[in-house]
Amino acid sequence: MRLMAQVPSGTEEGLTLIPGVTPDTQTNLILSALVLILVFVARRGILVLVHRRVSDSELRYRWAKSSATSAFVVAALLLTQIWFTAIPSMGTFLGLLSAGLAIALKDLVAGLAGWLFILWRRPFDLGDRIQIGPHAGDVVDRSLFQFTIMEVGNWVGAEQSTGRLIHVPNAKVFTEPLANYVAGFPYLWNELPVMVTFESDWRKAKGMLEEIAADHTVDITREAHRPTPGQEERFLIRYRKLTPVVYVSVEDSGVLLTLRYLCEPRERRGTGSELWERILDAFDEHEDITLAYPTKRVNLSRETLSRRTPAGPETTAGPG
C-alpha cells in the first residue's frame, strides 16, 4: 500500500517569506525599502558634507530644503518604476489616480500646486516681508504644503515682530491677495503727519521738515534711483520723484504738514522716531512754530457777555 503525499498548492510558484503575499509583491516591498534607505542615507551624507564645509546658516538651510525636495522626487520616481511597471497603460493609470487624488485630497493637491507656483513664479523668497490676507510677516520657511512667516504687526505698532510663527497653506497664494514689501522696489513710502497751529509760520515749518527729511534719507534716495538688477524684466515700476516731500492741508485744529519719505520696510518705526526727535528739537528753537492739538474756540458777543456777567450789589439811597 503506497502512501500518496499531497503537495501544498502554490509550492511550485516559489517560497514566500510573508504568508499570503505573492513573490512579486515581496520583491517590490524589498526593493522599495532599499530605495528609501539608500535615498535617506544619500541625503544624510550630503548634509554632513555641507555642514563640514559651509558655515553660513542660511546656506545650510537652503541645502537642507533642496535635498529634502530632491530626495522626495527621486524616491517617488523610483517607487513608481518599481510598483507600476506591470501596468500596460501608465498614462491611463496616472490619469485615474490623479482624478481620485484631486477629489479625495483636494486640499493637499492644491497645496502642492501652490508650492510649484511659488517655485515657478517666485512671488516671494525666504526672508521677504509679505502680507497674505490679514497676516503679515517675514518668510522663514517653505515646504511642500505650507510656508511659515514670523508675524509682524497685530497688537504691536509699526509692523514690528510679535514673536509668533504663522503657518500658511500654499493654496492661499491662489485665493488671497499677496503683498510683497521688497520685490521690485525694496523701499516703502512712509508718512509722518505734523500739525501746527494756525498762528504758526507754516511755511517755515514746511521748509524745516523738508530739510530734516532730505538730510535723513540722502543715502536711501541715492540707492533708490539705481535700478534693481533683473527687476525691470518682471515689473514696470516708475517713480518720478523719490526725494522727500511735504504736503499741506487744513484741518479743524490747524495746518497739517504731511511728510512723505522713503525708508526700508523693517525701519519704519526707527526712522519715524529719529525724525520726530529732530523735528521736536528744531521746532523748540522757534517761538513762531507751535504744534497743534484738538481745541475748541467759542466767540461770545458783548450782548451775550453782559447777560452772563453777574450783577453788582444793589445800593439804596440814604435819608436826605
| Residues 236-256, mean pLDDT to the nearest whole number | 84
| Residues 10-30, mean pLDDT to the nearest whole number | 60
pLDDT, mean over the chain: 79
Q: Which of 33, 32, 59 is nearest to 47 (CA)?
A: 59
Q: Which residue has the cell 523748540?
A: 284
| Residues 77-101, mean pLDDT to the nearest whole number | 64
Share of the chain above pLDDT 70, in %: 73
Q: How confident is the model at residue 40 (pLDDT cuts 50, 70, 90)?
A: confident
Residue 164 is assigned to a structural domain of this protein = yes
Q: How confident is the model at residue 48 (pLDDT cuts 50, 70, 90)?
A: confident
Same domain, 69 and 130: no
Of 149, 167, 182, the residue that ends a domain is 182
- CA pair distance 58, 64, nearest whole angstrom: 10
Residue 320 is assigned to a structural domain of this protein = no
Residue 151 is assigned to a structural domain of this protein = yes
Per-residue pLDDT for 87 more than 70? no
Residues 232-239: contacts with CB under 8 Å, at least 24 apart = 234/184, 235/183, 235/184, 235/185, 237/184, 237/185, 239/185
For 171-229, how does the pLDDT look when each residue is reduced to its tens digit (9 = 90+)? 999 999 999 988 878 888 899 999 999 999 999 999 999 999 999 888 888 887 676 66
Q: pTM of the entire structure?
A: 0.59
CA distances from 201 to 89, 126, 205, 287, 308 (A): 84, 48, 6, 10, 36
Residue 207 is assigned to a structural domain of this protein = yes
- CA pair distance 286, 236, nearest whole angstrom: 44
Q: What is the CATH number of the domain that holds 220?
A: 3.30.70.100
| Residues 247-275, mean pLDDT to the nearest whole number | 91
Q: What is the CATH number of the domain that holds 146?
A: 2.30.30.60
Rg of the chain over Cα atoms, rounded to whole angstroms, equals: 37
Per-residue pLDDT for 6 more than 50? no
- CA pair distance 295, 264, nearest whole angstrom: 36
Of 39, 65, 84, the residue that ends a domain is 84
- CA pair distance 44, 57, nearest whole angstrom: 17
Same domain, 105 and 144: yes
Same domain, 170 and 249: no
Residue 1 is assigned to a structural domain of this protein = no
For 104-160, how does the pLDDT look when each residue is reduced to its tens digit (9 = 90+)? 667 777 888 898 999 888 889 888 999 998 999 999 988 888 999 999 988 887 788
Instruction: Write down the pLDDT at residue 238.
Output: 66
- Write the DSSP symbol of residue 144: S
Domain extent at residue 71: 22-84
* Whether 107 contacts 169, CB under 8 Å: yes
Same domain, 258 and 274: yes
Count up the domains in the chain and report the number.
3
Same domain, 163 and 202: no
Same domain, 208 and 125: no
Q: How confident is the model at residue 5 (pLDDT cuts 50, 70, 90)?
A: very low
In Å, how far from its chain's centre is CA 214? 29
Q: What are the residue ranges of helices labelled H in 188-262?
A: 202-216, 218-224
Same domain, 28 and 53: yes
Same domain, 202 and 119: no
Q: What b-and-e string marks burial along 168-190, b requiring 16 or more CB atoms within 10 Å of the CB?
A: bbbbbbeeeeeebbbbebebbeb
Of 48, 63, 84, the residue that ends a domain is 84
* Whether 159 contacts 152, CB under 8 Å: yes
Instruction: Write down the pLDDT at residue 16.
Output: 54
Q: How confident is the model at residue 8 (pLDDT cuts 50, 70, 90)?
A: very low
Same domain, 272 and 192: yes
Structure-model confidence comparison of residues 61 and 130, the more confident one: 130
Same domain, 177 and 251: no
Same domain, 47 and 113: no
Residue 315 is assigned to a structural domain of this protein = no
Same domain, 73 and 137: no
Residue 316 is assigned to a structural domain of this protein = no
